[in-house]
Structure 1
Amino acid sequence: MKRYIKLYWLYAKSHFKVMMEYRIDFLIGVLSVFGQQFASLFFLSVVFQHIETLNGWDFYEILFIYGIAFLGRALHHIFFDNLWTIGWQYIRTGNLDRLLMRPVNPLFQIIAERVQQDGFGQLLIGGGVLYVASDHLDMIWSFGDVLMLIVLVLSSGMLYIAINLFFATFSFWMVDSLPIVSAVFSLSDFARYPMTIYSKVLMFVLTYIIPFGFTAFYPAMYFFDGRGYGVMAIATPLVAIIACLIAYRFWLFGLKAFASTGS
């Protein structure tokens, strides 16, 4: 473990040195995320200028769900964004062969080769949104609540990672599964809203098939008394661990099926 921590630090330090050579690009990347997230928040505020509640949910309750989604997605975006490139950057080009020749876990190398700086902007926005929403909802935070929030946000990030890795692994058979990963991740937008506004079929899919519901909605239910789904909220860390184990096992299965582009 110490070896991998040291290696990750060396990878990250090298990556940040490269980014600092192009500081304008670094700032543009961070600012672009601010623009994207503020656009989605602006759209939400426009909707609530015309309605008071959405199937019984008010603006700040949904904003709280947004905040958890932003934080979980930011953790995935900062440290695991390179998973998106497995197909076109590693398998299609033959770069995976280079990683397999080293005495280091190839998945670790893929993850460590990129730190996405614009995710820090998303992290700041998520924290700000969560603070504003909880303030307007008059939430009283105990030490246990803060600790549980950290666990749930980490679990949310783990679920984004697991889902990304699982569908990116299809690149071993498709060469590039980016279209599938993009299509699947578009479903994560549904998890930013209360699941109760959807049909039972969609709610089932987002809970038991592609568990995006555990990235935002169910974790938020831990802090909303009387809304229900408390058991699902508490189960979020377990779901995240199981999802990561399934995704990693599937990755190992795909790795065994890998045939070099030079073969």
Structure 2
Amino acid sequence: MFALSLFWEYLKNYAKTRLTYRADFWIEVLSDLMFQGMNLIFILIVFRHTASLGGWSELEVVFVYGFFMIPYGIFGTFFNLWNFSERYIVKGEMDRVLTRPAHNLLQLLLENMDPPSLAGSIVGAVIMGVCWYRLGLPLDWLDIPIMLLFIAGAVLIYAGLYTALTAIAFYSDSPTGILPLMYNIQNYGRYPVNIYNKLIRFVLTWLLPFAFVGVIPAAHFLDRKDDIAALAPLTPVMGVIVFAIGLAIWNNGVKRYRGAGS
């Protein structure tokens, strides 16, 4: 309850700030939608030159992309820590965070909330719905809770990986370019992993499990009878494992923190 009340207070403060600068809010929403639209256009262009991609049809790949957008939008809303090193380590704001009773990571997430990112999740759900209808997929009442479970697992995978990478700032004084690199790698999760070679497939499934944020859970709803769909039930399990590892790395990093200039 304490976390929910804290979330509500931060959300109200965010709303007050955005109401002062409404144009900035809508520009941010529009720019995010345009970026996602460009990614979708790229997929459509690819299928102008081929009938299938690794045995996946155009509608199936677009369906996967729609699913991919949902957890990514939620992640982008609550894990907006791209400037963590500069703001909280270099400028010393982490000292302020550590004097408060709530868990430090929770405070950071709430301080940096970015609700406009949820627009991407809404668009992703619409894309999935259209593809679901056009593919003629059956809709069972269990599909909704299963989908929510898979989305939660995918969000936890994002959260765990990026929490661990953000925590590098506690261990290294020099800024790294690993976050932009990881951002590029995650995009491979929106395509069928069977189009990659065995090494990349292994990395995307078990080491940096971005396949579990897009193609693997989406394959379950496409009723595909292959190895990719068979892994779908592991999505929430992978989410819990990856987030637990990321949180452990973060907590250990906080213990190493000795204040601004350390």
* Alpha carbons of structure 1 residues 177 and 72: separation in structure 2 relative to 1, 3 Å: farther
CA RMSD after TM alignment: 1.4
Q: Deviations over 1:121-148 (max 9, x none)?
A: 2012111111121112111111101211
Tell me which residue corresponds to 2:215: 217
Question: TM-score, normalization: structure 2?
Answer: 0.95
User: CA shift at 1:262, angstroms?
Assistant: 4.1
- Output one character per residue of 1:217-245: Cα deviation in whole Å (capped at 9) or x when no partner: 11012123323333310011011011111
Q: Which letter maps to 1:47?
A: V
Q: Indicate conservation of the 8 Å contact 1:169/1:177, yes or no.
A: no
Q: Secondary structure at 1:107's aligned position in 2?
A: helix
C-alpha distance in 1, partners of 2:164/2:91? 20
Shift of 1:85: 2.5
Match of 2:168 in 1: 170
Q: Report which stretch shifted further, 226-235 or 150-159.
A: 226-235
> Which 4+ stretches in 1 moved above 6 angstroms?
none
- The CA deviation at 1:177 is 4.9
The correspondence of residues 1-263 of structure 1 with structure 2, limited to 5 A, is 2-81=1-80, 83-175=81-173, 177=175, 179-223=177-221, 224-263=223-262
TM-score, with structure 1 as normaliser: 0.95
Q: Given that residues 158 and 241 in structure 1 are in contact (C-alpha distance below 8 angstroms), is that contact kept between their aligned partners in structure 2?
A: yes
Offset at residue 104 of structure 1 (A): 2.0
- C-alpha displacement at 1:118, in angstroms? 2.3
Asked if the contact 2:90–2:261 (Cα under 8 Å) also holds between the matched residues in 1, the reply is no
Number of corresponding residues:
261
Paired AA for residue 56 in structure 2: W
Structure 1 gaps, min length 5: none
Q: Which runs of 5+ in 2 are unaligned?
A: none
Q: Which one is further off, 166-175 or 32-41?
A: 166-175
Partners of 1:235 and 1:7 lie apart in 2 by: 32
Among the aligned pairs, what percent are the same residue? 28
Separation in 1 of the partners of 2:254 and 2:126?
40
- Work out whether residues 69 and 216 of structure 1, in 8 Å CA contact, stay in contact via their aligned partners in 2: yes
- Secondary structure, counterpart of 2:227 in structure 1: coil
Residue 132 of structure 2 aligns with an amino acid whose one-letter code is S
Q: What secondary structure sits across from 1:34 in the alignment?
A: helix
